[in-house]
Structure formats: C-alpha cells, structure tokens
Structure 1
Amino acid sequence: MSELLQQTESYLKQKISPDANQIDGCSKLLQKAFNGLGALGVLGLRIPHRWGGPQLDAETCFQFQELIARYSGALAFLQTQHQSVAAMLIQSYNTQLQAEYLPRMSQGNAKIGVGFSHLRRLGNPSIIAIPVRGGYQLNGFVPWVTGWGIFEEFVVAATLPDNQSVWGLVPFSEQKIGESAIKLSSPMSLCAMTSTNTVTATFTQWFLPEEKVVSIHPVGWMQENDQTKVLQASFLALGCARAGLEIVETAFKKTEFSFIQDAFNSLNQELNQCRSQIFAAQNHPQTINTSEKYQLRAWAIELAVRCAQAAVTVSSGAANLNSHSAQRIYREALVFTVSGQTTELMKATLEKIKNCKVL
C-alpha cells in the first residue's frame, strides 16, 4: 500500500469510522470529514504535479475509492463528485480554467460538484443551452446535484441545438440577476447519505460565459463514456461489501458461532475473487469486452447487497435502528446499486439477481 493510502486509512480509522453513522446524517460533519481529506491533499488524485496534485496511477486511485467507501459511503460519494470534476478539467481545452482551479482542488480550496446524470435519461433534454454572444444561455431543470452547502460551484451539462452537450462551471447557490436565475430546491429526503445535501436546480436564462466552459462533447459521448468507465464505480460497491463483512467478522468474534464464521469465509472468498477480477479488467481492458464489464459491475453491486444483508442478519434486531452501522451500510448498498445507472447496467444487475437460484 502506498504511503498516501496508508495516511488516508489512518485518518479514516481515527476520524471517520467512530462517527460514520453521524456523518451519514449531518452535513456539517460530512463537510468536516471532506475538509480532512483536503488537509491530506487527496481531493485531486489524478491532478498532475505541475498543478500541485499527487498525479497517482489509476490502480491507486481505485484502491483509494474502495478504501473511502469502506469507512463512509457519504464521504466516498461526495468526494467522488469533486474528483470527477478534477478529471474533467485535466482533459479540458480551457487552459485558463485549468490554471485557476486545478492548483486549488487537491486541498479542497476549490470545492466543486457535478450535475450531468440527466444526460443519461431518454426523451427530451431537461436543460438546454442556446449559443449567444460570449457564451450560452441555460434554461431547464437539473434533477440531481449533490453537495449543496459544501461545494461552491458545480459543473452543469446542457444540450445544444445540434444535440451536442456543453459542460460548464456555475454557482452552487441561489442566484437572481434581472430575468436570469438559478433556483435550488431544499435538500431531498433520501434514505441514505442525507448529509450530502442533494438538491434540484432550475435555470432561467442563465448566462454561461465561454471562459467558464469546461468542454463540449459530441452526440453520444455520454453513452460511450459510461461504457468506457463502467467498472470505476465498482470500487465503491467493493468498499461497501468489505464494510458489511467487517461487521460479520466482529459478530463471529463475539459469539463464536461457527455458522457466522462459515458465512464470513464464503463471502470473503467471493469478495476477493470479484475484486481481483475487476482490478485485472481495469489493468488489462483489452482482455475483456463491454458485456463482461457490466457483468463484473453487477457482481460487485449484488455482492455488496448480500454482504450488507449479512451484516444486518448477524446484528439481529439492533440493525433496525437508524443509528446502527449495519443499517447504514445496507442503505449505502442501495445507493451504490443505482449510482451512475444505465439501461445496460440495470439489465446486468437484474440478470445477476435473477440467476441467484433458490434451493
């Protein structure tokens, strides 16, 4: 394990694990946890050295995501949004934005979220961008934006008249300038990770200046990108599964019931196999096709749910308490089941569930 991962795990064990259940429901505690990662300089893992980042390799980044999810799903989900913005900026043609934001992102001095999941939806676009002099005018609705009160800005994606998409930085706060406005909803009442403060955003004649544009992508880019990166969110599910198994292992040490040990050994062996295959697929993508990638992602999802259910089972009635760790992990498994979901992933997940035969 790299020194950075060791430092991160030490922070997670000392500062996050004892308060993980409280962090799940309190945005101030989540913000404090996020700022702690910033103090370690790990909020922009891929950012090159020339912009003050650690410039880590892909495998270490995936291990990091798995590690965070093992200790707090809310923190893992939140920081993933910020890390994805850094990745967008690294690939951006806008050198001015790169110079302005990338040196401040690893330490969390610039905190940025995302709002683009709506591009995966079928039918008419929910938010459109009309080219105007000096930039674009945004009108429409963004159904999911995570991190209100924590992030200062977010990258919004809007559909252009030719069906390409423009991605740009906008304020993550209510705005009203004449007829132009950004209106945010109250945080949604979610079953898990409520502290992430997920809201909707409505844009009315909002001007996105050209200098705030991160990228413009061709028709179908989102779908192609989802296929290319289908396995990346698997590491969050793997971390969630590990968290569930740790509760099972603790229960065995407490009770010494052999059937709990048997369950742990079986699930732990399967988790190690799943993890090994996913890392191999990421390290050697040419050896596996897209369909097989979806199957591996579905395996990680379904396994996280089973490990979480095992944690609930060994915790007995106490697991029905909102304050119990098994309850939190079970809810996190739900979130990781549908995070970044596409039609292909939904199909693969259902196939995996369907093939779990009843004796």
Structure 2
Amino acid sequence: MSLLKETQKDSSIENIDNNILAITESYLKEFVAPVASEIDQSSEALNEALQGLIKRSLLSIKVPKAWGGLEADTETFYHFQQLISQYSGALAFLQVQHQGAVASIVYSNNEVLKEQYLSKIVEGKLLCGLGFSQLRRKGKPMITATPMNGGYEINGTVPWITGFGFFDAFLLGASLPDGQTIRAMVPFQNSHQDAGGEFLVSEPMKLGAMQSTNTVTGTFKNWFLPSENVVSMAKEGAIHENDKKIVLFPSFLVLGCAKAGLDIVKKVAQTKQLDFINEGFNHLNEELNYCQEKIQTAITINSRSFEDDLKLRVWAINLAQRCANAAVIVSSGAANYYNHAAQRVYKEALVFTVFGQTTDIMKATLEQMVYN
C-alpha cells in the first residue's frame, strides 16, 4: 500500500486532496529538488523521479475511484501540476503526457480498452504518452488511417512523441479519408508485423531543454491498427475546438515555472543582500500571486470566454519568462554554467511558452511582448 493510500483512511474528500498536495510537495522537496539539473539531463535520473510518483500513486490522480485511482478534483489536479513544474520541468513535462493519455482513456466509450488499461495504470504497470499534435497542422495529414477489415492501416510520421523508454504505449492521432480523426493506443516500441507493417522510432532528438525526456519521431508504414485499440473518434477540426476549451489549463505548469524562477531570486537575495533584488522579488511575487488568483477563480466559472482564458494564459507565459530572466540576472555569470538552476529554469520557460501552442496563443503571446 502506498504512502498516499495509507494517509487516506477515514478522511474527507477535502482532506484526501490536501494529502495529495502535501505528499507531492514533500516528495519533490526531498527527492527531486536536490537533483533537478541531473533530472533535466539524464533519462536515468528522470526515470527514478518518475518512479517516485508512481510509488506514491500520483500518476493515477485523475483515474476514477471505481478503477482504483485517486479521482482528485480539478483544482487539486492543477495545483499538483504546478507543484511538479516548480521543482522539475522535465518531470512535469513527462508526466503530463501520461496524464493526458489517461484522461482520454477514462472518457472513452471503449469499455474493453478501459478494462485493459486502467487497472494496469493504477498498479503502476503501464505508462502512456501522446502522439497527436500533428492533428493541429493544416494541409495534407501527416498520419492517415485507412479503414480495412478489423481496423485501420496507418501510414505517415508522428513528428513529436515524448517519453521513449519511459512509456509502454502512446495515444496516436490519425486522419480518416473523410476528414474525421481517430485516437488509438499504440505500443511505443519499434515493431514489425507479420503482414509487413512496421513502426519505427528515431533516435531521441537533441533539444535545448528537457533532453532527458527522450522525444522522438515515429514513422508508420502499412501498420495495422486493430479497431479495439481505438479510444475515440472525432469530426474534422475537433482538436481546434478543444484547444480553445482547454487553453487556460496549461497555465498551471507555466505558473510553476515562474515560481521556480522566483525561488532562485529569493535564494540569491539571501546571500547577496542587495535591496533591489528583494524589491524585484517582491514585485514579481505579488504579480504572480495575483495572476494565480485570477486563474484559480477562472477555472471555477463555466461560462468564461476563450478570449479571457487566452489573456490569462499569455499573462502566465509572460510572467514565467520574466521570472526566469530575473533568476538569470541575479545569478550573474554563474548562470552560464550548464548545470546552474537559473539556466535550467530559463530553458524550461522556453518549453512552457510553446507547450500546446496554437496560432491564437502564438499571436497573443507575440502581441503581448511587442505592444505591452
């Protein structure tokens, strides 16, 4: 029995959720924060940190209790995301892929697939990633699914799949001939089928940040996908509609990055003892708290507009950039060291700036920078 489950006995829902956050923060402070730079660069260190989340049942945070999960409420889940990104951007980026795939499975109408996957996920025996960002791209589909007896023939290239070597499967997004799209679970390993189909994975990309997450390209050639692996089907363009609905939610990862930058500024202020560093910290921290308050309030409002959500997302991005830059500035020349915390957080701000980026987000982020 995990530590988390032991502390849940005879607790109210509110206390359970508080336990989730308390245990998460305790783990991150004790085991992740001291090796955050190593986690950013080493897949082995990242895997060890990921296993720590699994041992505490934290990767089943959104799985319903009926399946053995924690079923945390929305606010707790997003605070959980923020905590992780505050202590390690690489760990946050990796686990959020899994959480996204799990959410799709939970909401799937494929009960057989849910039975097959969710119990293993809760037991920590199965981890999943995502491979559908190509559905956002206009023009000729990068991944096609051609209907055939018993399933689909998959062809094309997935340009971005994070977590090779960490995840057992990933959620593939593919386009049908009529424009509809499917999402389906696919084994995350090189494979050759008896009928000649194949799925091949590239070497991990050389990235400027979060190299340890093992992001790869995956190529399908006449690969057979059984119908029973399909998680969902959607109309053409549905991903763009959904992107607008969820535009605010990644803000919590971004706010965690901003907090990471301010943690560095605060630490430097204690050693350099310069008044202007304290003043800078206080100013940014006050704005961060205000931004967080606005975002927390917004997620409780069902009738909020996309435009308002977008403004808050862009505000969070801008804050993360400024807080990360402040960390670099106060760290002086030491920030140039490849393993310095300020450099790591600065690069994480880059990643979270473009994470799940749509054209609307790109435009609003650029306008905020240019005109404000």
TM-score bracket relative to the smaller structure: over 0.9
Match of 1:295 in 2: 311
Q: Tell me which amino acid in the other structure corresponds to 2:279.
A: D
Give the conservation status (yes or no) of the 8 Å contact 2:284–2:323.
yes
> What are the equivalent positions in structure 2 for 1:27-176 lying under 5 Å apart?
27-176=43-192
**Distance in 2, Cα, partners of 1:293 & 1:354:** 20
Instruction: Give the counterpart letter for 2:183 in structure 1.
Output: W
Pair 1:226-2:228 in alignment:
no
Which amino acid counterpart does residue 244 of structure 1 have in structure 2? Answer: G
Q: Which runs of 4+ in 1 moved over 3 A?
A: none
1:216 corresponds to which residue?
Answer: 233
Aligned to 2:280: 263
Question: 1:107: how far off?
Answer: 4.4
| One-letter amino acid of the structure 1 residue matched with residue 132 of structure 2 | F
Residues paired across the two proteins, number? 355
Q: Is the 8 A contact 1:139 1:206 kept in 2?
A: yes
Cα distance in structure 1, aligned partners of 2:84 and 2:119: 23
* Paired letter, 1:29: A
Structure 2 counterpart of 1:333, one-letter code: A
Unaligned 5+ segments in structure 2 are 1-16
> In 2 relative to 1, CA 5–207 (structure 1 residues): closer, same or farther, beyond 3 Å?
same
TM-score, normalised by the number of residues in structure 2? 0.94
- 1:35 Cα offset (Å): 1.0
Structure 1: which amino acid aligns with 2:30? Q
Pairwise CA distance, 1:351: 1.6
Point out where structure 1 has 5 or more consecutive residues left out of the alignment. none
1:314 maps to 2:314: no
Separation in 2, partners of 1:62, 1:354 = 30
| Aligned twin of 1:206 | 223
| Residue 197 (structure 1) shift | 0.2
User: Deviation at 1:29?
Assistant: 1.0
- What's the counterpart of residue 12 of structure 2? none
Q: Find the counterpart in structure 2 of residue 16 from structure 1.
A: 32
Give the conservation status (yes or no) of the 8 Å contact 2:81–2:92: yes
C-alpha displacement of 1:101:
1.0
* Paired residues of 1:85 and 1:155 also in contact (CA < 8 A): yes
Partner of 1:282: 299
Quote the Cα distance in structure 1 between the aligned partners of 2:121 and 2:248. 24
Determine the structure 2 residue equivalent to 1:183.
Answer: 200
Shift of 1:4: 1.0
Q: Percent same amino acid among aligned pairs?
A: 49
Distance 1:214 1:341, change over 3 A: same
User: Structure 1 stretch 175-184 or stretch 74-83: which is displaced more?
Assistant: 175-184
Please state whether the residue corresponding to 1:207 is helix, strand or coil: strand
SS in 2 for 1:169: strand
- Counterpart secondary structure, 1:142: strand
Return the offset for 1:285: 3.3
Secondary structure of the residue aligned to 1:114 is: strand
Distance, in Å, in 2 between the alignment partners of 1:17 and 1:331 is: 17
Aligned to 1:130, the other structure's residue is in SS state strand
Q: Deviations over 1:210-263 (max 9, x none)?
A: 111111111121011100000111111100000000110111111111100110
| 1:71-118 CA distance string (max 9 Å, x none) | 000000000000011110111011011111112223431111010111
Which residue does 2:8 correspond to in 1? none
TM-score (norm 1): 0.97
Output the CA distance in 2 between the equivalents of 1:271 and 1:99: 42
Q: Is the 8 A contact 1:40 1:107 kept in 2?
A: no
> Residue type of the partner of 1:202?
T
TM superposition shift of 1:32: 1.1
Deviation for aligned residue 1:7 = 0.5
What is the SS of the residue equivalent to 1:124? coil
